[in-house]
Amino acid sequence: MRDALEGWLASLKALDDAAENTITAYRADLLGYLGFLTTHYGDSTGIAPLTRVTLSDIRAWMAHERRRGVSARSLARSLSAVKSFTRWLAEREGFDPTPVLSARAPKFQRKLPRPVPEAAARDLLDTVEMQAREPWVAARDLAVVTLLWGCGLRISEALGLTGTDYPLPEVMRITGKGGKERLVPVIGPARDAVAHYVALTPWKPEPKAPLFRGVRGGALGPRPVQKVMEVARMQLGLPSTATPHALRHSFATHLLSAGGDLRAIQELLGHASLSTTQAYTAVDTDRLMEVYDKTHPRA
């Protein structure tokens, strides 16, 4: 069983270029599933138990997971991993995967992202800059937050910039999830904010060293950025959903609201699926119809 699992994970990494975090999550999901089958069948010899799983067995496993307190969302992800693994194994072992593939995922309420309104995003940037006592720390926080909203970067991508990336070009090559690269235009205010930070920081950019530093000179982690956003949103009376990641949502939503093309925004965000980009945007129906009426050739 474990050999089959490792073979499937290796194929995901080699062929699908899956991110390391994805591999880790899938391994945990499948180990739990395989452990259940071993107990359920009382047989862990070879892969035979995997070839005779029935829909009833899958339902028993799902019920077992729910009794353990696994949420519907997490169970849906685990079932997706089990289906992918079973499909891969069936192609190699020649058994019918239909019983597993026909299992339905539990329903759950998807938490749609909540972007920050444009005016509130501007206020956040102004307020973030006023939090730190040290001018260079204030400039650092503003530079990071500006990259999130102005360029749609993930916080890990912004904090992953090194001295080699400075000065920021007009178009920057970003390596995102799964090692996938994309080109991101860097707006003038973002370049200016980073340049202002570099002019003030005690640690000047060095090749391969982190561009953004903590107060002791080490690499800046996400927590200080999250903390300064927490304080700023409390001062502005914004909801707890106004997080650093919400600024990335806002980047996409504000572009689409201004008439941007959804597929172009997908490229800027580095999403593999257009449906993911759609979930990131929150433009009301009236605005969508306005864009439709203005751009449709037969309007």
List 140, 154, 191, 213, catalytic entry: 154
Q: Active-site residue 154, yes or no?
A: yes
How many Cα atoms within 13 Å fall on the side-chain side of residue 109? 1
Encode 240-256: b = buried (16+ Cβ within 10 Å), e = exposed.
eebbbebbbbbbbbbbb
List 245, 263, 294, 296, catalytic entry: 245
List 196, 248, 249, 254, catalytic entry: 248
Q: What are the tokens at 218?
A: 């080490």
Sign of CA dihedral 26, 28, 31, 37: negative
List 26, 166, 197, 280, catalytic entry: 280
Q: Compute CA 181 distance to the chain's CA centroid, rounded to the nearest angstrom.
A: 14
List 140, 213, 233, 271, catalytic entry: 271
Q: Active-site residue 245, yes or no?
A: yes
Cα 19–24–30 angle (5° rounding)?
120
Residue 299: strand, helix, or coil? coil
Type and span of the H or E element at 101: helix 98-101
Q: Active-site residue 271, yes or no?
A: yes
Q: Active-site residue 177, yes or no?
A: yes
Q: How many distinct helices (H) and strands (E) make up the chain?
A: 15, 2
Distance between CA atoms of 32 and 193, rounded to whole angstroms?
A: 47
Contact between 61 and 103 under an 8 Å Cβ cutoff? The reply is: no
Q: Which residues are catalytic?
A: 154, 177, 245, 248, 271, 280
